[in-house]
Structure 1
Amino acid sequence: MNASVRVLHVDDDREFASLTAAYLEEEHEGFEVESEPDAARALTRLRTETFDCVVSDYEMPQMSGLEFLREARQIDPDLPIVFFTGRGSEGVAAEAISAGVTDYLQKRGPEQYALLGNRLRNYVEKRRAEEERLRGYEAIERAREGISILDEEGRFVYANQAFATLVGYDHDELLGQHWELLYREEDVERVYDEQLPAAANGGWTGQTVYRRKDGDLVLTNHSLSYTEEGELISVAQDITDDERRRLELLEAKRFESLVNAVTEYAVFMLDTEGRVVTWNEGAEEITGYPEAEIVGEHISAFYTPDDAEAGVPAELFEQALADGSAVDEGWRVRRDGQRFWAHVVVTPVYDDDGTHQGFAKVTRDMTERRARENELEAQRESLAAANRMNAILRDVLRRMVHDSSREDIERDVCERLTTDGPYLFAASGDYDEVGHFDVRLASGVDTDAARYVFDHLTTRTAVTRAVETGAVEVQHLDREAIDLEHELVEAIHSVVFVPLTYRDTVYGLVALCSTSASYLTDGERSALEDIGAAAGYGIHAVETERLLQADGVVELVFETSDGGEPLVDLVDDGGTVQLDRLLPIDEGEYLVYTTLDGVSPTAAVEAVSSNPTVSDTTVVHADDDGDGGVVAVTVTESLVTHLAAAGTKVHTVESADGTLRVVVDVSPAADVGRLVDDVVASFPETHLVSKRQVARPVKRTRAVAETVESRLTERQLAALQAAYHGGYFERPRRQTAEDVAETMGISASTFHQHLRIALETVLTELFD
């Protein structure tokens, strides 16, 4: 539906109304949503403005949803009205339906928004179609031909005055009657055996003898065809007397035009050789040929050059003569050279003596319907692929709970994607600075074979791009350019690289070999990226766990004199700064608590606020003499945050005299060389001062801490840590809840919610 859909959303919850409007307008082209929190004002707007449909809550303070529904039905009895409410029960639904609601949906999750949008579009389209149908009835009523419509049981649901006059019945007498009322007994069987099947296969045109109410018989030119909804359209023209028989051919064009207007068919006549004899407006609209230009031309003008040369038109004529009709679907060519998908019915025409006079040809443009069917099929395939990948994601997450090493996680991902997944085989591995993929383990094939395939097929450009962007990368293989005799190579058409990422760190790649040459759907790509992120998070977790459980760690000391480093800017005018706590609060963003000595916190905040990597600053506490205190800084990129995102544990940070010194711990199994190269590449003014093996005592109750962290989301844990380090629990408080929330960039109510859940989790673990 190309026309816009104007929706009135009645809900006293403004935040939910805004969310609903945003989703409908973003996901459904042409939707315009007007939100109204007051039901009484909504009724006033319905009286003075035009809306295509209404979405209403069930429980509202000013007026209940049922009261609003009854008032709205007084204004417009046919307006689509859908209840979209959090309250749900069979009783509520039954009460709403009894009151005349169009539909009833519950606010149960994100999928309901998609369901709501689709149903609103369907109801609006249905109403507009009914209005269009009524307008069509008005045009039909003015027609001189007798036009009637019958339901699927063959009973009259509509007849224009011309048809009622033709058969001698009053209009109301016909409605509800079966068509057999108007036929002689000897003609009924022919209707069932010939006319109705032909009508179902594209349309029937011929002559019918009607029996009028007074018993007289009337001969008509008659046409039957079915609509998409299963209704039968009947168009009849009285040709009883000789004069009307003589005018039959002259009136054929207008008669067929009316048939076309009702059924969207182009109907025209051909002579015995296949040349156009008559033309109508529907045919001109579909093909682009005006009557003066096409009459006398052969029907092959509408066919593609290949079909015309292959004799397809002649084959249809032969089939029609042999079987009584011929049906075909295929590409046809318009006057301007554009192609359209046509549904065609060809029927031979004979005179009263049985002499072949030519052919009746009925054509319908099915291009849009075919495109919709292809689109729906593609959507179904895409949804099935996405569902398959999401099922794999859920299974990988379930398996990762029990994994205790990086190798376990990578093996689970590879095996799940190849055992039940759509890929021939998979391998995980590392990459070097020039993009070489080094296979560590494989699934679906042995490791040596996997190394052989990736050494000879994959491009380093694809590997490098996947690592640099942190996104799924697809390499389609040029089959003609591959000169390798290996059964695996011959089966592979594309390779998909999935980076295993956690924040800014890429822990490695999973490479998937596919027998398909098609591109990934958005759903498949999204699911693979989620799998990569889940695996990256799992690897980060087990590496961190290994670091915490190790008897010793590797301590690295970095120093930088980078003038853009925000922690250096804090004490640019003298003094020192030490790191208290580093909290991840958003994707790529950290909240850094620091203690200043020998510098005013206010002056430090002013000095660092102009740094482009700093998005927010807060003075948490200032010493009485104003020569020190605690400052919170929200940064997006710095040496400290880069090291934290790379999987290290930042141990100590000190800044003085323009130099920042950072001490971090890494696992003894970590690739220190790669870490140092990455840091220096990102921060050229940085260098490694020292590296040594040290013992770090565990400073917390591990069982409680691990359980709490596993049960809290990152946001909940960050809220608890920000409250603690921001002085929220001190007496007197250094920061209020509003201050801490502002520092984190969230609302106070959201902060309270996160903090309450976090505290409850901690206390439950301690005391239960």
Structure 2
Amino acid sequence: MDTRQTLLAVGASERTRLIHEGLRTRHGYRVESVGGPSEGPGRPELSGAVAAAVSTGTASTEVVGALVAPAAGRAGVRAVRDRAPDLPVVALHEDPGEVGATLAAGASHATRLPSGGSSDAADGPPAAALRDAADEVAAAFDALADAPGTDTGEADTAAVPRGEGSTTAFENGASTAFDEFLPAVADRLSDLLYVYEPDGTMLSWNDRLVAVTGYDPDEIATMEPTSFIAPEDRDRIATAIGRTVEAGRTQATADLLTADGERIPYEFTGAVLETGDDRTVIAGTGRDITERRRRERVLERQADRLETLNHINAVIREVNEALVRTETREGIETAVCERLADAEPYRFVWIGEFDHGGNGVVPRSHAGEGGEYLVERADAPSEWATAAAAMRDGEVKVVDRMTADAENAARPAEAVEHGHHSAAGIPLRYRGRTYGVLCVYAPRPGAFDDRERSVLRELGETIGYAISAAERRHALLTDAVTEVELALEAPGATYVDASAAIDAAVRLDGVVERDGGLVEFLRVPADRVGDLRSHAAEAGVAVTPVAERGDEGVVRVRVDDRSLAALVADYGGTLTGGTAESGRGSATVALPTGTSARGLIDRIDEAYGGRVSLRAQREGEPVGVSGLRFREGLDESLTARQREAVETSHHAGFFEWPRVSTAEEVADLLDIAAPTFHEHLRHAQRKLVAAYLESDGTQTS
């Protein structure tokens, strides 16, 4: 080497002096220090020192480059560039993160400064690393000086192969200014970066590929890009690589297969690049999309659930329409099963009820696929634990997954054989009465989430209401009835409680519907009406005197849905009479033939805490074979206000002679004006007379 070549050393430290020494002794450079030690001088003084050093160059001392220490940093690079724009500059750095800023300040090349080493330990490993760094610095200056296309040692940028949006290394054997910058950045990224030839030969990759796949660099060098892909995805990725060569770039997703056999979903991209020597390579990236896939699955599940709920709501609307058109319990149950089983997401549906002993569940209606499972269990009603639990607790019960140890599931292995992987039992309840259970089966596990259960719970209540209405219609249209006589104790029925409060005899005179609720008329001793009102006021119950009939008084009591009349009505029955004295009484109930008297007694017993028992049960017909049909026809013609006016007038003695109550008094009971009362009553009387005459075959106008 020409010993006249001089390097300006901008900034200095103990470690950089070892590099200076190596440049002198091993490469023959003359090293001239510019600026102070350690932290380095400020830029104004440094700029002047650089200017002075450059200007002192003679024929025997040519300044061929500047070596900037980390202490001088970007300020040192700019100071050189200010005075010698064409002078090659090699910057030493301790942090790869500073490389970009140093290059941006004007450095031609950046070299990492090894850690450790001092002049006091000249023979130790750190010192040796620093001398090796001197070799790298010398090679960099030689390359910069020899780069074609410049007389100043400036790099030939035409030698850099560039693709769209890419920067790569020189192909002339020398490092470029980006040699350390780009690898440092690439190794810090969370994405995979790699370069390979179209035939699959791996050329370069970042540390992330090693860390994620678990293969060491020697193994990676012998592998092809498709070797990192799960077998079932390899053909598709090979096709994508072919498209990259044809189209210039492509994108695909596949499972990356690690050395340990782990599969990780990745999104891969590839782009064709042309090198300076006319070679074609493919540069690619790989991004872990595990979290994205998770979010996509969550969104897909949410979309599926929303679609399922929309479908269920549509089915429920169809069920509701069918319920409106169906007048019998059997028809309701058949319609529900067929509608629900006819479309996704359910596969099989059945409706059942407790057997006569209350120990098991027996099916009443079913529809859908896999019904053999139900038929095979016909002789084992006690096995329907989910259905029984739903009816017993009045709550939706779900088996999310049919497994051998599935709780409350009847022979789950056999259920799976028939395609049933999850099930739900929905109680059919209305106003406290359970009419049965709706059992729904789905072909997939976990088919019933909280929102779906809520929708099915509402469906169960709707079906319960429809069955209740059907039974009430049946009660009005049937002539045959079952008469049940019950024994009661206080507290419980309103009139029984009243008899206990005043320690006297009380009789139920009648029940009237009003404003969606019920009003009971009671007959009590006339001289005890005041006592009853006082006791009732303490209990928060309003008792209104209606009329006096000799030594008896008639009072009106507003009752809730726990009243005996309400409980009986829920079963399609009629409370036809009731008497009590001193807290003990009886009730007579007329039920449509076929209605379970045992079910009614159990419901009353539940409501009144075990203070009810059956005295007698008789089969018979009501007075007048066509009486109930006549009543049903009249009820359809009367408005609620007209019916209330007639019934209240009757219990208040308005129709007796002499009248017990005046029109004004009855109007006060109804909270309406007297003329309005007369209007309601006249309309009701006209319809009553017309219905009577028409039922007798007489034509009326």
Equivalent of residue 398 in structure 2, options 468, 474, 482: 474
Q: CA deviation at 1:560?
A: 1.5
**Equivalent residue for 1:247?**
177
**Equivalent residue for 2:4?**
none
Structure 1 residue 573 corresponds to structure 2 residue 483: no
Residues 315-324 or 684-693, more deviating: 315-324
Return the index of the structure with the highest Cα Rg: 2
Output the amino acid matched with 1:731. Answer: E
Change (3 A) 1:498 1:297: closer
CA RMSD of aligned residues (A): 5.9
Query: How far apart, in 2, do the equivalents of 1:372 and 1:721 lie?
Result: 66
Output the amino acid matched with 2:668. Answer: R
Output the amino acid matched with 1:459. Answer: E
- String of CA shifts for 1:114-165, please: whole Å, max 9, x gaps: xxxxxxxxxxxxxxxxxxxxxxxxxxxxxxxxxxxxxxxxxxxxxxxxxxxx
Contact 2:512/2:644 (8 A) holds in 1: no
Change (3 A) 1:385 1:763: farther
Query: How far apart, in 2, do the equivalents of 1:707 and 1:302 lie?
Result: 88
Q: CA deviation at 1:762?
A: 9.0
Structure 1 residue 440 corresponds to structure 2 residue 364: yes
SS at match of 1:380: helix
Instruction: Show the 5 A alignment for 1:376-395.
Output: 376-395=299-318
Q: CA deviation at 1:238?
A: 14
Equivalent of residue 338 in structure 2, options 408, 415, 425: 415
Output the amino acid matched with 2:419. Answer: A
**Equivalent residue for 1:702?**
632
Output the amino acid matched with 2:311. Answer: R
Query: How far apart, in 2, do the equivalents of 1:354 and 1:513 lie?
Result: 66
Structure 1 residue 653 corresponds to structure 2 residue 578: yes
Instruction: Show the 5 A alignment for 1:326-337.
Output: 327-329=251-253
Equivalent of residue 353 in structure 1, options 269, 274, 277: 277
Equivalent of residue 319 in structure 2, options 389, 396, 405: 396
Structure 1 residue 431 corresponds to structure 2 residue 354: yes
- String of CA shifts for 1:239-291, please: whole Å, max 9, x gaps: 99x9xx9434555489989xx9xxxx96675587989977xxxxxxxxxxxxx
SS at match of 1:507: strand
Contact 2:396/2:457 (8 A) holds in 1: yes
Structure 1 residue 559 corresponds to structure 2 residue 487: yes
Contact 1:583/1:722 (8 A) holds in 2: no
Change (3 A) 1:399 1:521: same
SS at match of 1:734: helix
Q: CA deviation at 1:666?
A: 0.2
Q: CA deviation at 1:392?
A: 3.2
SS at match of 1:655: strand
Query: How far apart, in 2, do the equivalents of 1:567 and 1:355 lie?
Result: 104
Output the amino acid matched with 1:377. Answer: E
Query: How far apart, in 2, do the equivalents of 1:764 and 1:529 lie?
Result: 45
Query: How far apart, in 2, do the equivalents of 1:603 and 1:339 lie?
Result: 83
Output the amino acid matched with 2:331. Answer: D
Query: How far apart, in 1, do the equivalents of 2:538 and 2:255 lie?
Result: 65
Query: How far apart, in 2, do the equivalents of 1:720 and 1:373 lie?
Result: 64
Structure 1 residue 691 corresponds to structure 2 residue 621: no
Contact 1:223/1:236 (8 A) holds in 2: yes
Q: CA deviation at 1:681?
A: 5.2
- String of CA shifts for 1:711-758, please: whole Å, max 9, x gaps: x9xxx999999999999995254357699xxxxxxxxxxxx9xx9xx9
**Equivalent residue for 2:138?**
none
Equivalent of residue 461 in structure 2, options 533, 536, 542: 533
Query: How far apart, in 1, do the equivalents of 2:650 and 2:331 lie?
Result: 36
Contact 2:169/2:179 (8 A) holds in 1: no
Structure 1 residue 406 corresponds to structure 2 residue 329: yes
Change (3 A) 1:350 1:523: same
**Equivalent residue for 2:431?**
503
- String of CA shifts for 1:667-722, please: whole Å, max 9, x gaps: 1222223433444455422112222334145376532423668xx9xxx9999999
**Equivalent residue for 1:20?**
none
Output the amino acid matched with 1:546. Answer: H
Equivalent of residue 447 in structure 2, options 498, 508, 519: 519
Equivalent of residue 731 in structure 1, options 644, 664, 686: 664
Relative to the length of structure 2, the TM-score reads 0.53
Structure 1 residue 545 corresponds to structure 2 residue 473: yes
**Equivalent residue for 2:384?**
460
- Aligned pair count reads 479
Contact 1:595/1:629 (8 A) holds in 2: yes
- String of CA shifts for 1:86-134, please: whole Å, max 9, x gaps: xxxxxxxxxxxxxxxxxxxxxxxxxxxxxxxxxxxxxxxxxxxxxxxxx
Query: How far apart, in 2, do the equivalents of 1:722 and 1:384 lie?
Result: 51
Contact 1:653/1:663 (8 A) holds in 2: yes
Output the amino acid matched with 1:461. Answer: A
**Equivalent residue for 1:671?**
596
Contact 1:575/1:596 (8 A) holds in 2: no
Q: CA deviation at 1:547?
A: 1.9
Query: How far apart, in 2, do the equivalents of 1:573 and 1:349 lie?
Result: 103
**Equivalent residue for 1:12?**
none
Q: CA deviation at 1:570?
A: 3.2
- String of CA shifts for 1:140-194, please: whole Å, max 9, x gaps: xxxxxxxxxxxxxxxxxxxxxxxxxxxxxxxxxxxxxxxxxxxxxxxxxxxxxxx
Query: How far apart, in 2, do the equivalents of 1:238 and 1:274 lie?
Result: 16
Change (3 A) 1:526 1:361: same
Q: CA deviation at 1:566?
A: 5.2
SS at match of 1:731: helix
Query: How far apart, in 2, do the equivalents of 1:633 and 1:708 lie?
Result: 22
Output the amino acid matched with 2:575. Answer: V
The structure showing larger relative contact order (alpha-carbon pairs under 8 Å, at least 6 residues apart) is 2
Query: How far apart, in 2, do the equivalents of 1:383 and 1:721 lie?
Result: 51
Contact 2:574/2:589 (8 A) holds in 1: yes
Q: CA deviation at 1:467?
A: 0.9
SS at match of 2:503: coil
Structure 1 residue 637 corresponds to structure 2 residue 580: no
Query: How far apart, in 1, do the equivalents of 2:650 and 2:286 lie?
Result: 80
Output the amino acid matched with 1:734. Answer: D
Query: How far apart, in 2, do the equivalents of 1:738 and 1:219 lie?
Result: 104
Contact 1:600/1:626 (8 A) holds in 2: no
**Equivalent residue for 1:30?**
none
Q: CA deviation at 1:636?
A: 5.3
SS at match of 1:661: strand
Q: Percent sequence identity over matched residues?
A: 18
Contact 2:273/2:283 (8 A) holds in 1: yes
Relative to the length of structure 1, the TM-score reads 0.49
Output the amino acid matched with 2:446. Answer: S
SS at match of 2:482: strand
